[in-house]
């Protein structure tokens, strides 16, 4: 199964190039957007080339999603746990962004492997921030408990103005995704893909994966949630799915499931368009081969000669 990378490749390359060329005073001011409308801004000034400012704008939360100081709950603690003293959180962040981090590149670890691992972690800021509440819930699941002061139904943002929902319990966490698409072709492809996705999970080789189901109607707990034109996908996560190193992978896969489906829908659409274009091209070639050769037909007609026969000659030929 092809999955999206947890770190931003462009952000990682920018950080790596800057860390390897600290002696060069280079001014940076980069803006870019990645999937699900996560926006980044990097700034480095000539006056202080060792300091890098990284600002992140998250998808606009829906009405049922709760942000604390512009961030999902648990995000501040997750940032501090991931980066320690090497990263400072600026309060307030830059205008138009949910978070701004101040990184002193001169204090990075001297060991190259440790430096590389830290830069990859910084480039994974999206996972650290958006996945923070999900990580809190799944860490309690691994301990077979429920996080205190947690509502029975938790809404987490994953796309602009859209959320997915969790029902945390001590022995399992149920995750429900309303699957919505704007294009009518995407809706048809997504519906077919999700049905096949659920069927594939029932094969013998995937017995250890989380149980998965798909339905056009939402669970009873989500009856007030707006309809989803591609249905609802439900995963049931058990403690065995979040043990040890499985936790990071599970957090990322659940956080980006809608983007994963969108990726395959667009790939399928592109594949079908390519097949259609090739088919049309082959039909055009067949039609071109079936056309009569006009030039040859003209030459043939020009080379013909006719002789006018008299009445006597025609009678003679007919009786001969």
163 lies in some domain: yes
* CATH classification at residue 70: 3.30.1460.20
What pLDDT is stored for residue 2 in this prediction? 45
Prediction pTM value: 0.80
299 lies in some domain: no
Of 176, 139, 185, 182, nearest to 156 (Cα)? 176
How do strand 173-178 and strand 232-237 relate by DSSP bridges? antiparallel
Does residue 318 have a pLDDT over 80? no
Does residue 281 have a pLDDT over 60? yes
What is the rounded (10 degree) CA torsion for 46, 48, 51, 54? -50
Residue 320 CB neighbour total at 10 angstroms: 5
314 lies in some domain: no
Q: How far apart are CA 72 and CA 80, in angstroms?
A: 14
Tens digit of pLDDT for each residue in 24-64? 878 899 999 998 899 999 999 988 888 999 999 999 998 88
Residue 197 backbone phi and psi in degrees, to 5: -60, -45
147 lies in some domain: yes
248 lies in some domain: yes
Buried (b) or exposed (e) across 204-224, using 16+ Cβ within 10 A? eeeeeebebebeeebeeebee
Average pLDDT, the chain: 86
310 lies in some domain: no
87 lies in some domain: yes
Helix (H, G, I), strand (E, B) or coil at 313: helix
Helix (H, G, I), strand (E, B) or coil at 263: helix
Who contacts 262 (Cβ-Cβ below 8 Å, separation ≥6)?
Answer: 35, 181, 186, 190
Query: Per-residue confidence at 208, pLDDT binned at 50, 70, 90?
Result: confident
Residue 33 · residue 10 · CB < 8 Å:
no
Does residue 224 have a pLDDT over 70? yes
308 lies in some domain: no
Q: Which domain does 64 fall in, by range?
A: 9-268
Number of domains into which the chain is organized: 1
What pLDDT is stored for residue 200 in this prediction? 79
């Amino acid at each position: 199964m092809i999955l999206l990378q947890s770190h931003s490749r462009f952000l990682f390359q920018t950080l790596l190039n800057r860390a390897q060329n600290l002696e060069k005073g280079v001014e940076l001011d980069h803006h870019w957007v990645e999937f699900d409308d996560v926006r980044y801004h990097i700034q480095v000034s000539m006056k202080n080339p060792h300091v890098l400012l990284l600002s992140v704008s998250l998808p606009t939360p829906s009405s049922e999603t709760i942000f604390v100081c512009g961030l999902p709950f648990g995000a501040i603690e997750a940032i501090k746990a991931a980066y320690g003293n090497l990263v400072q959180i600026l309060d307030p962040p830059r205008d138009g962004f949910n978070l701004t981090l101040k990184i002193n590149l001169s204090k990075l670890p001297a060991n190259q492997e440790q430096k590389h691992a830290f830069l990859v972690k910084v480039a994974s800021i999206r996972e650290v921030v958006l996945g923070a509440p999900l990580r809190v819930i799944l860490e309690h699941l691994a301990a077979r408990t429920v996080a205190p002061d947690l509502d029975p139904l938790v809404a987490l943002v994953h796309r602009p103005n859209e959320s997915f929902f969790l029902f945390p319990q001590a022995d399992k966490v149920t995750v429900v995704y309303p699957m919505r698409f704007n294009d009518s072709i995407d809706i048809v492809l997504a519906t077919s893909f999700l049905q096949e996705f659920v069927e594939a999970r029932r094969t013998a080789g995937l017995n250890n994966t989380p149980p998965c189901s798909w339905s056009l109607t939402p669970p009873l707990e989500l009856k007030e949630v707006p309809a989803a034109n591609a249905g609802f996908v439900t995963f049931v996560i058990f403690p065995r799915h979040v043990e040890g190193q499985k936790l990071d992978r599970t957090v990322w896969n659940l956080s980006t499931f809608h983007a994963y489906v969108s990726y395959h829908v667009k790939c399928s659409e592109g594949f079908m368009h390519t097949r259609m274009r090739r088919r049309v091209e082959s039909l055009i070639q067949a039609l071109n081969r079936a056309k009569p050769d006009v030039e040859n037909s003209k030459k043939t007609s020009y080379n013909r000669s006719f002789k006018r026969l008299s009445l006597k000659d025609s009678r003679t030929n007919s009786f001969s």
